[in-house]
Amino acid sequence: MSRLFHNLLKIDLREADFARRGFHCSRPEVREWLEHVGRTFLGGYHAALQARSDAELVDKLETVEPVYRGFAYEGTAMALALLDGITLRGRRLQQFLGGAGRHHVYMLHVGAGWAGARLPWLRLRMDTAISQYDRVLRWLAVDGYGFHEGYFHHDQVINAGKLPSRLSETARHVFLQGLGRSLWFVHGADILEISQTIAGFHPDFRGDAWSGAGLACAYAGGSSRNEIEELRWIAGSHASSAAQGAAFAAKARQLAGNPARHTEIACEILCGMNSERAAALCDETLAQVSDADPSPYQRWRELLRNSFAPSFTLRGKPHELTPQPAAPKHS
């Protein structure tokens, strides 16, 4: 890619610093872990802007430590989707999805949503913009959009409650999943702060946010076993949504071949099974989604969530927090 494009689109690595973002984290080791996640994302982003071929790009991405590698691929997707969106005729991300990046399809679809968040002609017609991708996984781009908004604009989106209005009903739910995922970073993996924010969301969207929190907990990591137990307990009636998110994390890592100990622990606690079984359950429930279903991604999430619900009845009813007035509501 030309030096001009790289210079125009490059992002300062300091954008991943918690101090710069205004994020709160009381534990230095967790802050460093999550900041490294952000820097890895940006490393993959810049690698895609500079690479002269997909082969060269993959060689660079595969040097990233496995536990972080998925974030590098996510950043790569943002860059490729930006280049496609700017030229209005590019197919670089589609080619990468079907070729060298095929084992990272989940993270690549999420990364595409970051590009949609940055380009107004995509952001204002998000449902149409994602129609070029897989009919189920395309919705992960909306999750990426939600994460981007929470990560970069948390004061407006989370604290002031200014959520996008030009989204379909399905897209709103998926956006909130991504927003919930961003809370893992905004609140520095502090379970109590995350739960207090989610408690202030409109009831229709709390499950989506808990799904995102569970996904971030299981994929990004940064919490102890006791803290994950606390997450499951405080999620209350949305514990199965958190489990659904954790299972998605397990599937993404299983397909990419980059397992992580923290993902295994999160699945044991949130899903009541190991990560291999959680990933398999994702495949089994996806196979049950009809080709004629108008909202296949939401149906997949529902089937997966319902698969976990009976186990939570047996394991005891968790606790839910009272809503906090400062958190956003969706109108």
pLDDT surpasses 70 at 331: no
pLDDT the model gives residue 310: 67
For 60-109, what is each residue's pLDDT tens digit?
A: 999 999 999 999 999 999 999 999 999 877 799 999 999 999 999 999 99
Given pLDDT bands bounded at 50, 70 and 90, which one contains residue 163?
confident
Q: Rounded to an integer, what distance in angstroms lies between the CA atom of residue 14 and that of residue 111?
A: 19
pLDDT surpasses 50 at 329: no
pLDDT the model gives residue 7: 78
For 131-157, what is each residue's pLDDT tens digit?
A: 999 999 999 999 999 999 999 999 888
For 187-212, what is each residue's pLDDT tens digit?
A: 999 999 999 999 999 999 999 999 99
Q: Rounded to an integer, what distance in angstroms lies between the CA atom of residue 118 and that of residue 2?
A: 20
Higher pLDDT, 298 or 318: 298
Per-residue CA distances from 25 to 106, 183, 187, 201, 222 (Å): 28, 11, 6, 22, 11
pLDDT surpasses 80 at 323: no
For 174-190, what is each residue's pLDDT tens digit?
A: 999 999 999 999 999 99
pLDDT the model gives residue 312: 61
DSSP letters for 133-196: S-TTGGGHHHHHHHHHHHHH-HIIIIIS----SS--HHHHHHHHHHHHHHHHHHTTT-HHHHHH
pLDDT the model gives residue 8: 83
Average pLDDT rounded to a whole number, residues 206-228: 98
pLDDT the model gives residue 89: 72
Tokens at residue 311, please?
């186990």
pLDDT surpasses 50 at 322: no
Out of 154-163, 218-227, 232-241, 300-309, pick the least confident.
Answer: 154-163
pLDDT the model gives residue 72: 99
3-state secondary structure 77-141: HHHHHHHHHHHCCCCHHHHHHHCCCHHHHHHHHHHHHHHHHHCHHHHCCHHHHHHHCCCCHHHHH
pLDDT surpasses 90 at 274: yes
pLDDT the model gives residue 77: 98
